[in-house]
Each structure stands twice: as structure tokens, then as C-alpha cells.
A and B are shown apart, each in its own frame.
Chain A
Amino acid sequence: MKIEDLERFEKMESEGLETLPSEERRRFLQMGLAVTGVFAGGTVLSLMSARPVNGALEGISLKDYPYKPHYCMVLRQDRCIDCELCKEACVKTNHVPEYGYRTTILERELTVGPASRQREFMPVLCNQCNRPPCVRVCPTVATYKDKTTGIVMMDPKKCIGCKTCMAACPYNARYFNEEIRAIDKCDFCFASRLSKGMTTTACAEACPADVRIFGDLSDPTSRVYQLVHDPERVVWVLRPETGAAPNVFYTKG
């Protein structure tokens, strides 16, 4: 992740997202997807519990989840200890070269009180956005939103390596893979695992601290559904201001 991105995260947090202009907020709410509708709360009003947020959403009709299964990941951020077993598992499973990553861990220091600073780790990966800026800018349709699962996929055969998608991604989640001469990115382990009948990603499976929770957001019995719809829980996404409507959610505890 670029340093400026990190700085933006920090700024977002310290300012409180309720300072987002109402124009931005409306645009976010109007995206019409249930996910963004529900999470507009968790994201736009990121520092509040979801309860007032759900209240604020009353009267807005939420459509059904656009994908089935609607894959997403919830990251219990404060439990991340940067052991990086997730990264190791990802590299092994998806043959990620040394110079790139599909997922990584960011680190920052927070000021939590007078003369008291606390380290914080933040796992990041492709946010599998509902309105992916990368897909919008790709000139060859090499990257696309899978109609069934909502996963943002890559077709390396169509990729001409122009890197426009890399520049467009708000999450710095793409890299150019020299071996296949194409952009590579996280596909929630679709090619390596999900398509073979496995039910979770390599990183989620490897995490010893139960930070990464993967599942189907359209299934009310799933853990991701329950975490995200818990009215007492604060859930947020990174960089909501881009309007990309991500499917990677962050929470604490």
C-alpha cells in the first residue's frame, strides 16, 4: 500500500467519517445494492455502532444481494498479530512471486492517549468491489466482475499489461506478474480452491488468530452475515469515498 494511502486511512479515522459531505453520502446510499445499503452505515458513519445507522437507513429499500454466493471477508483487525501465516499460505497456494502480493499486512502506530502509542496491524487484499474502478478502466475486459460470485477476476490471456487497473485500484491490490506477463490479484482463491470445492480462502484457513473470516454474505447463517448485521458492532470499509462499494469489511473484537 502506498504511504499516501496509509495517511489517508489515518486521516479518515481521526476526522470521523461523519464529516463526509452529504453529497458523497447520498451517492453511497443510492448505489442500490443491499450490501452498500447496509454498510453505508458501517462505512460512512464508521465510528458509530450500526444501530443508529440502521435507523438512518429506514425508508431506503434494499434490493437482494446481487450475487449468490456473495463472497466477502470480514477482518477482525485488532486481533491481527502480523505473524504473516496468511501471506505465506497465499504465496504457496497462488504461486505469488517475491516481488508481488495478493494480500499483505500494513502496520501503523496510533496515539491512544497522552504519551501512549499502540501498534496496529491491518491486513489488506483486493476488496472485490461492487463497483470496481479497475474493471471500469480495463481496455480489454481482461479484468471483470464474476456474475455469480461477485469476485473480481483476471483473464491473463486478455491482459496487455498496460497497468491502468493498477493505477485505478484504490487498495493497491494489483501487481504485474513477470512470469505470466499479466496483472495478478487476489481472487478469493477462486481458481486455486473455491472452484475445486473448498469453502474458504488459504489466508483465512491459515490465520491462527481468527482474524480473517470468509463467507457468503447472502447466507444469514454464515459468520460473515452475522458479524456484519450485528447491530452492536461497528463495521467499516476502507476508503468509502471512492464509491467502489467494497466487499471486505473491518471490525474489532
Chain B
Amino acid sequence: MNDLKIVLFICNWGPHAAFQMLQDSCRHMPHQVRMIRIPCSGRMSRALLFKAFETGADGVALVGCEPGSCRYGSGTGIAERNVQDTRGILELLGLGKDRLRLATFLPEQSEALLEFLQQFHADVERMGKSPVIPVPKTQPGESGRDLAARILTSHDIYACQDCGKCSSACPMSLCGKPFSPRAMAGSIIGGNIGSASVVSDVWSCLTCGICYDRCPSAVDFPRFIRDMRQVHRRAGTAGQEAHEGFFQALMRTMTSPDLDIRHWDWLPEDIQVDGQSKTLFFGGCAPYFDTFFGRTLGVKTCDILIDSLRLLNFFDIFPALLPGERCCGHDLLWTGDRDSFIRLARLNVDAIEERGIEEVVTSCPECYRTLAIDYPEHGIPISFKVTHIFDLAEKEIDKGAIGFEKLNRTLTFQDPCRLARLGGPGELPRKLISRLKPRGFEEMRDRGNSALCCGNCAWTGCDSYTKALQVKRLRQARETGSNLLVTACPKCQIHLRCAMEDPFLGDEIRMEMMDLTSIVARTIRWE
């Protein structure tokens, strides 16, 4: 029965010599261990390490050179950090961090290497097979051309009057990228689906929705792009995934039904939840984001979840949580992996309905839109109501007897696209902000319907142009003279924080950020 798959990534330099020694002397190694020779342990990114698990590995050992003996100097240190982050992710997924190990050996330590491999094999054997079922490659099925034709008609792209309003408003075009939604639509209508420029354009769009907002014929570019990505994914021309596709791989992994996900293990004890409640709080992927970006960007998006729950508790709402909550699937849907999206949606809806939940509350704009709009739109009806926490908070505060403590900051607000333009309660954030007691509130030049994107959507197409867009946005924020940039989406925080790391601009665009839910929760008071 022993069909375990153990991958050994071994550095070409020190430890590979030790490994060869074992081979040369015909030492018995567990046959489940498959060796892959790599140039340096530091080159094994988190995405590469994780992809081994996505594709069915039961255990992964990364073996590098002893600290100080790295041929490139910093390899071992980088490997340590990458392994640590990836172990955090494995732990959240319930796979267990011990399925990934890092070890270092000198060329002459072949005995120690053998011992390590035997021990690791025994450990993995004890943990058993991984519950991850690799997602099969999508079958081509319908031809790309037919599918594209269907997508063109269903989104009525032919209604385009060639007026150019979309291209003149598109933030990608405006920050200098040779990119035009109108031209792209024209090419696709002309049957030019697979050309390099169309592929690149389809993967560059931010699906931010400004063009849709402006278009006199209501050509729905975001949905059109979303579906075109399906065509390209099937044709194998998916691309430009940020972080080497780490997040898409993570989300695809979550489609395995037998995972024992541990989404909420880290929750502080003072938060009151009630497993019997008919109201469920759906958190979203913040724990994964913090594990992945915590060290590099210092973002704490889990605070948004904690503050959301504290706010619910303040209103005497003690919600249920799904211990095995999965990603809502937003990013898979918007990067063309409809099949995996549907698998995730099913798993989530089944888990929610099994508990007899009547209302799902969420503070993530993407989860909100995905659950409320995209699940039903993709043939997964929901029997519960989906409420954005802003909506709930506004109703509770409006009942009266609630006020806010003074906040000695001047605020400005970054609209998340999924609230401002694509299906969310667009006006609510400002209503809530008007209830707060900050020193001031200054709007950015582009706001509300016209707000600029934080620079990325669904972890695809991050490049120097999107960076330019982010810098432009942060300059707008700084121009307001405000000293606190209020966000309402965990990803806005991540992408904007990332842009602030620019070593050349640095202080010029740096700004403190805080989620609106956190500000509300931290200043709300009974009167």
C-alpha cells in the first residue's frame, strides 16, 4: 500500500555530493523518495515548494548546504524563510507543517543524510497520504473559437460603438501601458483570439470596472475578460500570475474535499462565537495572506477579521464560524479556472447550508460579491442571505445610542473595486466614515465610481505598469494631506503596501493604512 510520494529537492553543491556517495555505495534509500536536483536551495520559492503539494506530494524535503557553505552566500537563509512561510500555509490547510522539512548537509555527511531521509520517510508514513487530490488538467472540450464566440454574444460585446470612452478611462491605458480595451475587443471580434497581444491584454486587465461604468453601451468588460481568461487557460496560454501562481495553487488545493482546514485556530480568546448561531461570519483568506506577506510587507489583514468579530460581539451578535472555511474562489474565477471555482463554491455552500445558516456576514468585498452574485450566477444557488459588515454596522448604529470616540487623524479612502463598481454597497463606506469623528476626511481626486485600482486583481498581471498606477494612486492619497489611508479590502492593503516598498520613492508615497472595519470597531462607543 506504500504509494507515498516524497520529493527531495537537493542542492547541486554540497548535499548532492553526499547523495551521490549514497548511490555509489548502493545504500538502501526509501524508494518513495524521488530526488530532484536543483541549483540552490534558496531558489526554491514558496510557490515551487507549495506546488509539489498541490500536485500530490505527501512530503517534501528541501536539502541545502550548511549555513556558511552556500556557494551563493545567502541561499540557505532564503531557503529557511521560504520553508517557514510554506510550513505556515500547510498548517492552515490542515496538512501539517511537518510534511515540509529543511535540512542542510556538508558533502561528506552522507550517513547523516541517509538517516534524515529514513527518518523523514517514517514521519511521512506516520502522517499518511496527503488528502490533496490534484486538480486534473482542464479538458479542451468546446473549441476556443466557439467558446469565444459564445462569450462575445453573451456579454454583448458587439454593442460596442467604438467610442473609445473605455480606453480613455482605463487606468492601465492611462499609466502608459500599450493597452486598450476597445482595441482588444475589436481584435477578438475579428477572430484574433490567440495572438500574443490579445493574450497579453486579456491577462493585463485589472477587471476594475471603470470602463464598464463609462461605456454608453454597457459593454461589461470585467465579465468578458473573466470569461476570456477561461478560453486562454484551456488553450494553455494562461500566464502572468503574480508570485508564480502561489495563490492560484493554494486555492486549487483547497478544492480537495478531505482537507481538515484550520482556518480559525489563531483567533484570540476574547472573541465570542456560537456554533449554534444561524448567522455565520465568513472571513476570507486573510490568514493565508498574513502568513505569506507578514514577513516581507508586515501586513496584518487578520486584524480586519478580529475587528469584524469584535464589532459583531459589540452588537451582541455571536456568529458561527466555519472551522474548515475555504477560499470563496474569487481569484480562481477571475483567472479563468471556472471548474475549480465551482468545486470550491460547492464545498463552501454545502458546509454553510449543513449548519442551517440563514445569514452570512463578511467584511471582504470579494467574498461578498462572490457569494452573493457569482455563486448563483454560476449555477450554485444559495439559501442564505449575504450581508456586508458595513451594511450590518450601519443598520445597528442607525438604531441609535451609539457614538464614536474622537480619532486624531485625517482620513482618505481607497474604494475597493468590488464595492464601488461591481456589485457591493458602494455608498456605505462613506456613510460610515461620516459617522466617525476623525480630525478630517479628504477625498482623493479619483474616488467612488472613478476610484483607481490598488494595482492588482486576482494575483495576475503585476508589472511595472501596475506599479506606476499604484504610485499614482498613493500620490493622490498623499496630495489630500491626510495621514491615514482607509481601506476596505485586505488586498488593497497588501498591494498598496507592496508599492510603498519602492526603494527610490520610499517616504514620498508611504502612508499608514487601516481598514474601515477596524476604525469603526476601535472607536465605537455606547453613548
Our verdict on whether A and B bind, yes or no, reads: no
Interface residues in chain B, defined as those with a beta carbon under 8 Å from any beta carbon in chain A: none
